[in-house]
Structure 1
């Protein structure tokens, strides 16, 4: 990919690989694994109309705390001097645009456990000069205090509602947690380029990952409530951990890009509580479940649990399809249009998945009709 978001810093689901032409072939790998096998849930992907956005638009973050509410964030007038951050809200009466603090160019991450308690990370045109932590109280977005002297990369809410954040400061990459309005640093990694991926199931089960350089160790860490442990990745070349999807302590997915000299495409990894398995993505022309070498020029994409033991994958290597992995084999489904979903999220306790795309549109996959306002019928 040669495009880059308005915020040039790392974000959990959007980044570039330096703009160089990175060509290579992926080695083949086993499609078997220890994830609980499950066929795709019934339903299909559909475009959901949202308020119009100006110019080129992209959505980098999405949260759906319940079946009736969705928050999607990103940028409009992307790549332009007047690029502006945008946050869209869907409630029982349809979609609205939420006013934001002035001067923000892009929203990079969104998290919510309740429709009246949401968090977002947003940046100005120069992320190193301004990166804000935003909070939604059900009525408006306002700037909240982040960890002192930290530029935030990604955020996550654990099962208790505590807010976790990765960032970088003068001492290196950090992980901090906010409880009772107070931030506490839990990890500092000197000389680290940053941790752009984070997922938490509980305060005793937190994962963070970031960029691995060449043959150095892959930066993947796990917190058990007391201490952080570096998790062995077991490969010759380091990986860039792009996204982590936590389903359960023995069901964690990782979307990772190997820092191999030939720059192969990203791979899907699974943690079953005791070991990792790797599952390579099928190419556009591969038979379902098959794997062949493919070329790569960059990456933008996302993953989300399907609620039944499998995972959805969106990748620019095959924009004609959204991929589903059930723990043993791959299947394909057709998206509303042939673009990459930059952010995907599952509604808790359901199989409904929402997605924000590289062109500022929103998709939904569910076996159930979209809930509407009982008074107006607005979707």
Structure 2
């Protein structure tokens, strides 16, 4: 899994309490680390095992970061020595089977790597000098797909051996259920693509025809797939330049079921910023924004938590007004067996280091 597009940010007061708070704008946990740090992804295989991953930077060096939720406390986990950069994406088939990919700058002697948690410790599984994995998908108990963001290929591990697999396009987002993988990315000419692996081979599956026609000034990106009930859900993002210099951003909610794509109605919020989080009941949680404007060239909007039931009913709850891009949520997830939502990201109070933070949105 990975998140490529994210316009949502939360304005968080400096010095906010690290204790659980009712205010949805306040983080429930702030990293105590010195130097800059941020979280990029979060996984929750069950209610007792929630992991947040990212990067910590100190003295000009970047290192991967992993924290595990133990009760109401977040504890830093020890990772293998000698790793550079940060963790970009993770997937967790179960509490004792978690995979994560990361890496740093190749021009500084860095490398990409795959990590595995077996329930007791993290192990370095493999390194790459010529791949930049930004997303990962697990199939079953042993199958792992690592997608190279530098070329149209996947590095597939079947539990015993590695295989290079050509993909129809460059994969930037992916999610799996069973042996089926849905992915989105970019084809020739940076054209947005959606593709599916059926357990045997990859095929393109193009929902672009459901969207408004392109103009010379517009671009489309497809987000990370999500599974809810028997359906696959995906957000399409359309960017278009306007005469006033402020881009127009639109979001479209797409559903794949019974072999075809459909465009679904959305709630009052106009721009859906992140991949949907299934609510476990056939519905979806979404972070969205509305009333977007660009005073002084800076993006401002109202952030809302939206919910779509399995029958298509929408509701939303305001999370506050966003006036700058100094803080934000990178990804959010529902805790299994509950309707609690945790988001990860960062906060950068004026004059202070950037800190990795945990938000509770529900």
TM over 0.5: yes
- Counterparts of residues 15-94 of structure 1 (less than 5 Å): 47-49=27-29, 51-77=31-57, 81-92=60-71, 94=73
Distance 1:122 1:201, change over 3 A: same
CA apart distance, 1:310: 1.9
Structure 2 unmatched runs, 5+: 8-21, 243-247, 293-300, 348-355
Q: 1:290 aligns with which of 268, 272, 279?
A: 268
Matched, 1:347 2:335: yes
Distance 1:64 1:337, change over 3 A: farther
Distance 1:319 1:124, change over 3 A: farther
Q: Figure out how many residues of one structure are paired with residues of the other and give that number.
A: 310
Correspondence for 2:84: 104
User: 2:91 is paired with a residue of what secondary structure?
Assistant: strand
The 8 Å contact of residues 152 and 167 in structure 1, kept in 2 or not, is answered as yes
Q: Whole-Å Cα distance in 1 between the matches of residues 32 and 344 of structure 2?
A: 14
Q: 1:199 aligns with which of 161, 172, 175?
A: 175
Q: Whole-Å Cα distance in 2 between the matches of residues 355 and 226 of structure 1?
A: 35
TM-score under structure 2 normalisation?
0.71
The 8 Å contact of residues 71 and 110 in structure 1, kept in 2 or not, is answered as no
CA apart distance, 1:118: 1.4
User: 1:232 is paired with a residue of what secondary structure?
Assistant: coil
Matched, 1:268 2:268: no
Structure 1 unmatched runs, 5+: 1-10, 18-42, 282-288, 367-379
Correspondence for 1:164: 145
Correspondence for 1:331: 315
User: 1:219 is paired with a residue of what secondary structure?
Assistant: strand
Distance 1:13 1:54, change over 3 A: farther
Distance 1:228 1:188, change over 3 A: closer
The 8 Å contact of residues 174 and 186 in structure 1, kept in 2 or not, is answered as yes
User: 1:73 is paired with a residue of what secondary structure?
Assistant: strand
Correspondence for 1:12: 2
Q: 1:224 aligns with which of 198, 204, 220?
A: 198
- Larger RCO: 1 or 2 (CA < 8 Å, sep 6+): 1
Q: Whole-Å Cα distance in 2 between the matches of residues 267 and 143 of structure 1?
A: 39
RMSD over equivalenced CA pairs, Å: 3.6
Correspondence for 1:362: 358
Higher strand share: 2
Matched, 1:313 2:297: no
The 8 Å contact of residues 319 and 340 in structure 1, kept in 2 or not, is answered as no
Q: 2:152 aligns with which of 162, 167, 173?
A: 173
